[in-house]
Copies of this chain bind each other. A is one copy, B any other.
Amino acid sequence: MTLNALPPLLFASLLALLAGCQSPGAPAERAALRGTGDLGVVVERATGSLLLVDTTEQAVLDRIEGLGDLSHASVKFSRDGRHAFVFGRDGGLSRVDLLTGEVTARVMQAGNSIGGAISQDGRLVAVANYAPGGVRVFDSETLAPVAEIPATYRAEDGSRQRAKVVGLVDAPGNRFVYSLFDAGEIRLLDMSGESPTERRFTAIGEQPYDALIDPTGRYYLAGLFGEDGLALLDLWHPERGVQRILPDYGRGEERLPVYKMPHLEGWALANGSAWLPAVGRHEVLVADEADWTLVDRIAVQGQPVFVMSRPDERQVWVNFAHPDNDVVQVIDTESREVVSTLSPGEAVLHMEFTPRGEHVWISARDSDRVRVYDTRTFEVLAELASESPSGIFFTDRAHRIGL
C-alpha cells in the first residue's frame, strides 16, 4: 500500500500564509440576473481556482482565483444555490458568490483540512481538520466562528492527543458525523440545540480514513485503513452502536499494489445494491443494500476509484487509479455488465452527473479538459478547457442530504 493512498498528514501550509486571509476574489465582471440551478464549479487544483460553469449551455462562465491550495479540495453549496463553500487542503475556507464571481469571505481556519459539510438548515458550515485535529463550525453567511470541537482522545500512553478528523458529513437534524483517524472513533455532533453536544463511538476499527452517508442520511459508513471491513453506524439507532460490515473489504481484497485508496464518496446505491470499488483489485463489488452482504464482483479495466450512479440508477460509471486512469467504464446495473469504455483524457479524476442524469461531466487533469457526455448515447457533447481539473460539483447538491 503506497503512501499516496493516505492524504498527507502534516502538510506545511506556507502557501496558505502566502495567499493570506480574506483575500478578495476577482471583481465582479458580470452580475447577471440568472437562475442558479444549472451552475457548477470545477476545481482547478494546480492554480487554486474554480471554473464557474453552466450545465445548460455547457460553457465556462468565469474563473474564480485566490482560493489557496485546492489539491483534494471539495465544495458544498448554500441552500439557495448562490454560494459555494470551498474547503482547501491548506485549511482555507472560502465562500464564493457564483453570481458575481467574488470571494465574499475567506478564513484560514486550520493548518491542514480535509473537507466539510453544510447543515441541514444551511446555516452552518463545518470543516474537518487534520491540524489541529478537530471540527470547526462557522456561520454560513459570514464565516464567523460558531463552535470549535477539538478531536481529543486518550492515547495508548495515557496522554491527551488530538486526532485527525476525516469523513465529515451532514445528517438530518442539524447534525454532523465524522471519524477520528488516529483514535478509531466515530462522533455524532448535534448542532440543533443551544450548544453543541457530542456522542462518541469508540473502538470502531483501526484508522478510519474516509466515510459516506447514504442519501437518506441514515447510514454512516467509514472505511478502515488499518484493518479490513467497514464501520457502519445506523443513525436511526445510535444505541445499537457501530457494526462491522463487509469483513473482507480492504486488505482482504488486496491482490495488487494499491495505487489509491478508493473514495468512500465513490460508492453508489443503485437498483437495490451498493456498488463499491474493490481495494487493490480490478473489480467493482456489489453488495446487497438490505444486509450489506457481498453478492457479486464485476471485472473492470483497472483499480476503481469512484463508482457513481447515474441518477436514474440504470448505470454506474467508474474511473480508475494510475496507470488505468485514462478510461471510464459504464456498468449496466441490471445486467451487471460493462456496456461502454470511454477515453475522456489523461488522469480522469472525477465525474458529475447533471441532476436528472442526461449528461455527465468528466475531468481529465493531465489533458487540461472537461468533457461532457450524453449518458444514453455516450456521444461527446462538449469539451471545455480547464487547468488541471479535479472535482466537479453542481449546485443541485445543495438540495441533497450528505452532498
A interface vs B, CB < 8 Å? 31, 33-39, 55-56, 77-83, 98-100, 120-122, 172-174, 192, 216-218, 236, 272, 290, 311-314, 334, 355-358, 376, 395-396, 398-401
Determine the chain B residues whose CB is within 8 A of the CB of A356 once the complex forms.
79, 120, 172, 399-401
Out of B55, B80, B121, B236, which one reaches A358, CB within 8 Å? B121
With both beta carbons as reference points, the residue of chain B lying nearest to A398 in the complex is identified as B37
A18: shortest Cβ distance to chain B, in Å? 32
Rounded to whole angstroms, the CA-CA distance of A39 and B395 in the bound complex is: 14
A128: shortest Cβ distance to chain B, in Å? 20
With both beta carbons as reference points, the residue of chain B lying nearest to A55 in the complex is identified as B79
Rounded to whole angstroms, the CA-CA distance of A107 and B172 in the bound complex is: 42
User: Is B120 a contact of A78 with CB atoms below 8 Å?
Assistant: no
Out of B35, B173, B290, which one reaches A83, CB within 8 Å? B35
Instruction: Answer whether A399 and B56 are a contact pair too, CB < 8 Å, given A38-B79, A81-B35.
Output: no
A52: shortest Cβ distance to chain B, in Å? 14
Determine the chain B residues whose CB is within 8 A of the CB of A173 once the complex forms.
376
Interface of A is mostly: loop
Instruction: Answer whether A56 and B80 are a contact pair too, CB < 8 Å, given A172-B314, A334-B236.
Output: yes
A129: shortest Cβ distance to chain B, in Å? 24
Rounded to whole angstroms, the CA-CA distance of A121 and B311 in the bound complex is: 13
Out of B80, B172, B272, B311, which one reaches A37, CB within 8 Å? B80
Task: Kindly list the 7 A-B residue pairs having the minimum CB-CB distance in the complex, ordered from nearest.
Answer: A35-B82, A37-B81, A35-B80, A355-B399, A396-B399, A38-B80, A35-B81
Query: Could you say how many copies of this chain the assembly holds?
Result: 2
Determine the chain B residues whose CB is within 8 A of the CB of A80 once the complex forms.
34-39, 56
With both beta carbons as reference points, the residue of chain B lying nearest to A38 in the complex is identified as B80
Instruction: Answer whether A37 and B120 are a contact pair too, CB < 8 Å, given A172-B357, A174-B358, A400-B356.
Output: no
User: Is A79 a contact of B33 with CB atoms below 8 Å?
Assistant: no
- CB<8 Å pairs between A and B, sample of 5: A37-B395, A38-B80, A216-B312, A217-B312, A218-B312
A105: shortest Cβ distance to chain B, in Å? 16
A247: shortest Cβ distance to chain B, in Å? 24
User: Is B33 a contact of A35 with CB atoms below 8 Å?
Assistant: no
Rounded to whole angstroms, the CA-CA distance of A236 and B332 in the bound complex is: 11
User: Is A399 a contact of B401 with CB atoms below 8 Å?
Assistant: no
With both beta carbons as reference points, the residue of chain B lying nearest to A82 in the complex is identified as B35
Out of B236, B355, B400, which one reaches A398, CB within 8 Å? B355
A140: shortest Cβ distance to chain B, in Å? 10
Determine the chain B residues whose CB is within 8 A of the CB of A174 once the complex forms.
358
Determine the chain B residues whose CB is within 8 A of the CB of A79 once the complex forms.
37-38, 55-56, 355-356
User: Is B99 a contact of A33 with CB atoms below 8 Å?
Assistant: yes
Instruction: Answer whether A35 and B38 are a contact pair too, CB < 8 Å, given A79-B56, A356-B401, A400-B356.
Output: no
Instruction: Answer whether A34 and B82 are a contact pair too, CB < 8 Å, given A236-B334, A356-B120, A399-B355.
Output: yes
Determine the chain B residues whose CB is within 8 A of the CB of A99 once the complex forms.
33-35
